[in-house]
Amino acid sequence: MTRSDDTGTGFVRVLGNRDVLVLAFGAMIGWSWVLVSGFWVQTAGSLGTLIAFGAAGLAIALIGLTYSELASAMPKAGGEHVYTHRGLGPGWSFVCTWALLMAYLNVCLFEAVALPTAVEYLVPQIRIGTLWHVLGADVDLGFVLVGAGSALVVTVVNVLGIKTAARLQAVTLLAILLSGALLVSGAVAFGSLDNARPWVATPATGILSVLIMVPALLVGFDVIPQSAEEIDLPPRRIGVLLVVSVFLAVAWYALVAFAVAMALDEAALSASDLATGDAATALWGHPAAGAALVLGGVAGILTSWNAFMIGATRVLYALAESGFVPAVFARLHPRFHTPWVGVVTIGALCCLAPLFGRTVLVWMINAGSFATVMAYLFVPIAFLALRRREPDMPRPFRVRHPRLVGGGAVVLAVALLTAYLPGSPSALLWPYEWAMILVWSVLGVVLFVRYRVRAGRRPAPAATSPAPPS
């Protein structure tokens, strides 16, 4: 086991190949593959869904290539913050990192509500009684207890160390893979290609409606650069694993969607509230199969939640290290070497999240998706800037045709960003989701002004006399 610095007070390098893949893949495989696979097939068609995931996956992989080079060149905690700070300066770096923190934090808060929703499918008795309503959403006491209790578990695991978090990730990911194998094997043995018709839904623009959802589903590969100071691998391997994790996640979603299409015809899809679970039940002829799929979905929520807790706290750590947020968030636990103040703070917010109901948190996750794509825009810009300004920087993972890859990544990020703007069929809701972005932006402006004022008050470094000859 090696340490990231010589003093023994920094992060500890403990993550190997399997740990890194498990963290990134688990971050990208949440609850959506259970909840909305039927919507994908109905909207785009079975083959149309594969086209949507393939095209969007290629775009994310292109962006991921720029991450891979930068992560191998600068394997530091904070990922995007480090790259953009060096390539674009502190101002744009703060914009990028602050947007990313919003995205990560919103996912963590959402999972605290998504988990009890998933558990209810297996144990309907968790509903104890409605406490109140928030914008049309019930807030049930049982949901609050399950969500807050799960938040405590995730918080404790992340305080105890990233290796402990990786072990939790491995166990829960095994449950996901087993449930997915159950679905896909059932589709091969008992499914029908006739059910998968139409191959492309009418109108074909439904492919676009699915495509714009994919970037939000693939958020999580960037957990790898966030935890780079805790990875005990050669820098080039970090870049390779990042790209591999994206392709694995795209393959997973595509397999699940096509298996659902083979299991349920158009009428059955329309009547289903949880298509993936109903598909497993239909294929195997027993409700236990559907329950197993939902159990895999619960595990997916935990892997996503756990990974984004790691990502959010490392981003917060990097911001504190740079002086943008209070320095307390840069404190590492003396025994476990984790940014425990950030972990506890985000964990406390997760405990409170179920009190606000599902409607508010759905708006938050949509706003967070917009913030994620903002970060995806800045990273390839920093990639191109550093290729121009620092061509001789050591790059263990070196992207071929950097202008083509970097320029393509910028264009694709801009295209994805426009999908959230007014006039698009997937535009963010006004005023709710845009208000969340505005409030977060105002808070960011306050912190940035504080940073500039504090930086302006620092005395200039004193000139030092030359050392006397020895």
pLDDT digits (tens, 9 = 90+) for 3-49: 344 344 578 888 899 999 999 999 898 888 988 899 999 999 999 99
What token pair was written down for 282? 């239909």
Write the DSSP string, 294-343: HHHHHHHHHHHHHHHHHHHHHHHHHHHHTTSS-GGGGPPPTTT-S-HHHH
Cα gap 332→7, rounded to integer Å:
13
Assess contact for 350 and 153: CB atoms under 8 A. no
Question: How far apart are the C-alpha atoms of 433 and 316, rounded to whole Å?
Answer: 23
Ranges of residues in the chain with a pLDDT under 70 are 1-9, 458-470
Which residues does residue 133 pair with via DSSP β-bridges, in sequence order? Answer: 138
Spell out the residues 6+ positions from residue 380 whose beta carbon is closer than 8 angstroms to its own. Answer: 63, 66, 405, 406, 407, 409, 410, 413
Domains of the chain: 16-455 (1.20.1740.10)
The per-residue pLDDT for 458 is 64
pLDDT tens digits, one per residue of 258-270 = 999 999 999 999 9
| Nearest by Cα to 257 from 202, 203, 326, 210 | 210
pLDDT in tens, 377-425: 999 999 999 999 999 999 999 999 999 999 999 998 898 888 888 887 7
